[in-house]
């Protein structure tokens, strides 16, 4: 056997060459770089539990998610119009002044999401329950002779379908480059349209009122938009922009009693939102966003309808908790900042991953 320090050096070099990296050895502490990378992946995983509209990422290829949800929206207005029908929560056809209307909308829905190669398909099927409480002076009576009436209706809403494509990966060319996700899709007029509603004369209010509510727009619609996502430790910031275009429709005479609506062209809209998602720990994240939607005025036979435009502004606060890789709960509370937006809204989602 060889002796001396020089004889031991080849054995030392050989051991260093065959030994696995320190972070791969059982029981070895991970390096700071590995810990940082794992934390970033955990934060991105948390944002994937939320839909891409709020800044979340897309599903991995062939991952399937069934997402039951429940939404509640509350509207309260003074001196609003109630006769006619509602598109995007605005009264467009017919109007009668009232003192106060309180509107509650409940929307249970099922959303199905399928991950594909660098893309995702999203289909949402909503069902609407709506209740209106109207408080107004009795027709021909004193101003302090108020009448209170409740109206209820429900039905299938407009089904929505979207395709998302992950165009640019974060940091592809420069460190500041965000994820860019494109979106295209639309909604189908599967809900009860606002033109064929039954109406009857109400002697208390002295006008003809609809005895049922619309659950859809009655128009085919399409939209396209983009989401920009950037990781900024310890948060993820996002920006969404989208444009919604509704196809015009020749309604003609409809309803009972019949009314001539002519050719109706719903107002198109532009929407944007921005905010951040903050991972508090490996299972819990919170988010906040600012949302604004501009809706142009609706036209009937080319004539713009008065007070049919919208500028809805709201702030939303939410949280996501991951029970397991398969089950997640997402809660969002919205506060309206003007009369066109819901005064308050609550959304609960429960994505189940397969």
Least confident of 45-49, 112-116, 262-266, 283-287: 45-49
Closest CA to 244 of 211, 269, 218: 269
Predicted local confidence at residue 173, as pLDDT? 87
pLDDT tens-digit readout, 67-101: 999 999 998 876 444 444 444 444 344 444 456 78
Surface-to-core class of residue 339, CB atoms within 10 Å of its CB (0-12 exposed, 13-18 middle, 19+ buried): middle
- Cβ(201)–Cβ(208) under 8 Å? yes
Residue 275: pLDDT band with limits 50, 70, 90: very high
- Cβ(159)–Cβ(123) under 8 Å? yes
| Tokens at 150, concatenated | 């409740």
Surface-to-core class of residue 140, CB atoms within 10 Å of its CB (0-12 exposed, 13-18 middle, 19+ buried): exposed
| Tokens at 116, concatenated | 């594909």
User: In the chain, how many H helices and how many E strands?
Assistant: 2, 22
Better-predicted residue by pLDDT, 147 or 190: 190
Longest dimension (CA), the chain: 119
Predicted local confidence at residue 69, as pLDDT? 96
Predicted local confidence at residue 223, as pLDDT? 94
CB-based contacts of 111, cutoff 8 Å, min separation 6: 51, 65, 66, 67, 68, 69, 122, 123, 124, 125, 349
Better-predicted residue by pLDDT, 339 or 313: 313
Q: Is the pLDDT of residue 32 over 60?
A: no
Q: Report in angstroms the alpha-carbon separations of 245 from 27, 193, 227, 327.
A: 58, 17, 18, 35
Query: Mean pLDDT throughout 232-252?
Result: 91
Predicted local confidence at residue 138, as pLDDT? 76
Q: Is the pLDDT of residue 286 over 90?
A: yes
Q: Provide the 10 A C-beta neighbour count for residue 308.
A: 20
Q: Is the pLDDT of residue 165 over 90?
A: yes
Omega prior to 288 cis, within 30 of 0: no
Closest CA to 67 of 320, 291, 335, 279: 320
Question: What is the chain's mean pLDDT, rounded?
Answer: 80
Better-predicted residue by pLDDT, 320 or 150: 320
Residue 19: pLDDT band with limits 50, 70, 90: very low
**Rg (Cα) of the chain, in Å, rounded?**
27
Q: Report in angstroms the alpha-carbon separations of 152 from 99, 207, 213, 348.
A: 19, 19, 8, 23
Q: Provide the 10 A C-beta neighbour count for residue 262.
A: 14
| Exposure b/e, 51-88, CB count within 10 A at least 16 = b | bbbbbbbbbeeeeebebebebbbebbbeebbbbbbbbb
Q: How far apart are CA 15 and CA 2, in angstroms?
A: 18
- Cβ(321)–Cβ(328) under 8 Å? yes
Residue 125: pLDDT band with limits 50, 70, 90: very high
Better-predicted residue by pLDDT, 151 or 276: 276
Least confident of 94-108, 261-275, 278-292, 340-354: 94-108
Predicted local confidence at residue 149, as pLDDT? 82
Highest-pLDDT range among 39-53, 95-109, 133-147, 299-313: 299-313
Helical ranges in the chain per DSSP H: 5-18, 32-48
Q: Is the pLDDT of residue 197 over 90?
A: no
Q: Is the pLDDT of residue 127 over 70?
A: yes
Residue with tokens 């056997």: 1
Predicted local confidence at residue 24, as pLDDT? 45
Cα-Cα end-to-end distance for the chain: 62
Residue 229: pLDDT band with limits 50, 70, 90: very high
Better-predicted residue by pLDDT, 302 or 331: 331
């Amino acid at each position: 056997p060889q002796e001396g320090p020089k004889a031991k050096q080849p054995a030392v070099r050989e051991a260093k060459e065959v030994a696995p990296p320190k972070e791969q050895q059982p029981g070895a502490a991970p390096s700071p770089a590995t810990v940082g990378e794992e934390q970033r992946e955990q934060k991105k995983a948390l944002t994937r539990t939320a839909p891409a509209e709020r800044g979340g990422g897309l599903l991995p290829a062939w991952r399937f998610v069934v997402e039951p949800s429940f939404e509640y929206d509350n509207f309260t207005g003074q001196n609003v119009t109630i006769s006619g029908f509602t598109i995007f929560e605005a009264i467009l056809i017919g109007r009668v002044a009232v003192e106060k209307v309180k509107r509650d909308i409940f929307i249970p829905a099922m959303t199905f999401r399928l991950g594909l190669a660098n893309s995702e398909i999203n289909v949402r099927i909503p069902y609407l329950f709506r209740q209106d409480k109207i408080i107004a002076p009795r027709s021909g009576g004193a101003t302090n002779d108020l009448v209170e009436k409740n109206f209820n209706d429900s039905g299938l809403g407009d089904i929505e379908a979207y395709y998302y494509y992950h165009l640019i990966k974060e940091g592809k060319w420069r460190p500041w480059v965000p994820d860019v996700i494109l979106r295209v899709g639309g909604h189908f007029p599967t809900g009860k349209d606002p033109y064929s509603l039954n109406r009857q004369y109400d002697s208390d209010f002295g006008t003809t009122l609809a005895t049922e509510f619309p659950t859809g727009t009655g128009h085919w619609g399409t939209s396209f938009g983009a989401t920009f996502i950037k990781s900024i430790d310890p948060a993820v910031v996002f920006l969404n922009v989208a444009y919604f275009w509704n196809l015009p429709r020749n309604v003609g005479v409809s309803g009972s009693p019949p009314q001539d609506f002519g050719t109706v062209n719903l107002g198109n809209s532009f929407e944007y939102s921005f905010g951040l998602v903050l991972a508090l720990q490996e299972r819990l994240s919170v988010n906040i966003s600012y949302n604004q939607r501009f809706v142009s005025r609706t036209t009937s036979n080319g004539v713009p309808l008065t007070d049919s435009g919208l500028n809805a502004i709201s702030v939303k606060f939410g949280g996501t908790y991951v029970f397991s890789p398969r089950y997640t709960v997402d809660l969002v509370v919205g506060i309206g900042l003007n009369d066109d937006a819901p005064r308050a809204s609550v959304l609960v989602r429960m994505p189940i991953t397969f």
